Structure 1
Amino acid sequence: MKFQIIPVTPFQQNCTLMWDENTNKAAVVDPGGDIEKISDALNQRNLTLEKVFVTHGHLDHCGGARKLADLYNVPIEGPNQEDAWLLEQLNSDQTRMWGLPPGEPFTPDRWLNQGDNVTVGNETLQVFHCPGHSPGHVVFFHAPTKVAISGDVLFAGSVGRTDLPKGSFKALEKSIRENMYKLGDDVQFIPGHGPVSSIGQERRGNAFVRDKN
């Protein structure tokens, strides 16, 4: 499995293009906007988009999901159903909150839960339900390459905001410690914003969720 980060929207959100090298089948995670930029990346690598994955329902992460899925006639998978209320507001409340162009509300073709798997070509990723930043946030993990896509759960040196509607630092900390930190110190993760980091780096040095041992 290969990965490419495509920064989108004025928030420079880390949209991730991933693909199975053996089949050239691809998925896009969190297409918050700039659909033309995402399409260019697919075309440059001669990839066939198979699915759209969404970590959570905030506008900068999924504002372009419906448009991209319709353009390529592919399904949307994720987030967890607890974020349904956010997906319904993509052209209203969230637009005013974030100051971004409105998105198109949608219901995914598949809601995702803890323990689910998703596939890209012949590759499989594990799904972890990680509430705290939003109640329906999910994280994707590809075990063979030891790469996770964390959305706005964990960042290099920081964590996702919990002052947004239905946010909870207690829930976020539990999600990180019980899901992400158990993936292994050598796992690299692609956050929703900013640089890539590793689980070990954050477990030892992240001021918000440093290892208590």
Structure 2
Amino acid sequence: MALQFHSVPVTPFQQNCTLLWCDVSGKAAVVDPGGDIERILAAVSERGIELEKILLTHGHLDHVGGTAALVKQLSLPIEGPHQEDAFWIEQLPTQAQMFGFPAVEVFTPGRWLQGGDSVTVGEETLEVLHCPGHTPGHVVFFHRESNLALVGDVLFAGSIGRTDFPRGDHDTLVASIREKLWPLGDEVRFIPGHGPMSTFGHERASNPFVADKRFG
């Protein structure tokens, strides 16, 4: 398989920061660098890959907290999330203070993403889906060739994202999952923002929030 991945749990929230890399070129992206950038860079070094960009699913602190520090150190371009999450990124210093995190700097992505866009990692291409609900600008990255999705905090094994934050909406989140993710196929494996991997088929069968039987 040409696209490889490795998740590194970071920050006290144990968020999954994921390295994606192309076997052919050795080029890599870091998805949702929430913090602990030394740990992230150690994982990069262990695999002998070269970071070429940062990809962000949404603007919450535990997913983007290490972004500005990584950019300062490596001058990496930032792609994502959707511009509707700009207000979350602008509030990062306040979020960090509130949760007792180290000080975090605001940043501006070089490229805001829309549904229907694509991003590249080396020679591999991932599709971008706009999946609001947890946050208004949340995006999901989907690699069709390997049936792999990086879903951030949209969907978890056995659960879904919280919607009690500003501009979160439960019905919108459920619609994003059922109308945008399920059509990709039951066999799709996904890496969530927290916790273990699962498949869309398993969640359709058993997830108490979005299983098909709830909507029959």
**TM-score, length of structure 2 as denominator length:** 0.96
**Deviation string, structure 1 residues 58-109 (Cα, Å, up to 9, x no partner):** 00000111211221111000000000001011111x1244332232111100
Partner of 2:205: 204
- Of 18, 21, 32 in structure 1, the residue corresponding to residue 20 of structure 2 is 18
Task: Report the Cα distance in structure 1 between the residues aligned to 2:61 and 2:16, rounded to whole angstroms.
Answer: 13
Ranges in structure 1 where 5+ consecutive residues have no aligned partner: none
Partner of 1:57: 59
Task: Report the Cα distance in structure 1 between the residues aligned to 2:97 and 2:180, rounded to whole angstroms.
Answer: 33
SS in structure 2 at match of 1:16: strand
Q: How does 1:164-203 map to 2 (within 5 A)?
A: 164-203=165-204
State whether residues 33 and 62 of structure 1, in contact with CA within 8 Å, keep that contact through their aligned partners in structure 2: yes
| Letter of the 1:35 counterpart | I
Task: Report the Cα distance in structure 2 between the residues aligned to 1:165 and 1:98, rounded to whole angstroms.
Answer: 16
Task: Report the Cα distance in structure 2 between the residues aligned to 1:66 and 1:147, rounded to whole angstroms.
Answer: 27
State whether residues 51 and 69 of structure 1, in contact with CA within 8 Å, keep that contact through their aligned partners in structure 2: no
Q: RMSD of the alignment, in Å?
A: 0.9
- Of 59, 65, 68 in structure 2, the residue corresponding to residue 66 of structure 1 is 68
SS in structure 2 at match of 1:91: helix
CA positional deviation for 1:131: 0.5
Ranges in structure 2 where 5+ consecutive residues have no aligned partner: none
SS in structure 2 at match of 1:2: strand
Task: Report the Cα distance in structure 1 between the residues aligned to 2:98 and 2:137, rounded to whole angstroms.
Answer: 19
Task: Report the Cα distance in structure 2 between the residues aligned to 1:175 and 1:70, rounded to whole angstroms.
Answer: 34
Task: Report the Cα distance in structure 1 between the residues aligned to 2:44 and 2:97, rounded to whole angstroms.
Answer: 31
Task: Report the Cα distance in structure 2 between the residues aligned to 1:143 and 1:193, rounded to whole angstroms.
Answer: 22
SS in structure 1 at match of 2:71: helix
Task: Report the Cα distance in structure 1 between the residues aligned to 2:20 and 2:98, rounded to whole angstroms.
Answer: 30
Partner of 1:91: 93
| Letter of the 1:178 counterpart | E
Task: Report the Cα distance in structure 1 between the residues aligned to 2:87 and 2:60, rounded to whole angstroms.
Answer: 10
**Number of aligned residue pairs:** 212
Task: Report the Cα distance in structure 2 between the residues aligned to 1:91 and 1:158, rounded to whole angstroms.
Answer: 29
Task: Report the Cα distance in structure 1 between the residues aligned to 2:56 and 2:68, rounded to whole angstroms.
Answer: 11
SS in structure 1 at match of 2:146: coil
SS in structure 1 at match of 2:115: coil
Partner of 1:137: 138
Partner of 1:35: 37
Task: Report the Cα distance in structure 1 between the residues aligned to 2:115 and 2:65, rounded to whole angstroms.
Answer: 24
Structure 1 window deviating more from structure 2 (76-85 vs 98-107): it is 98-107
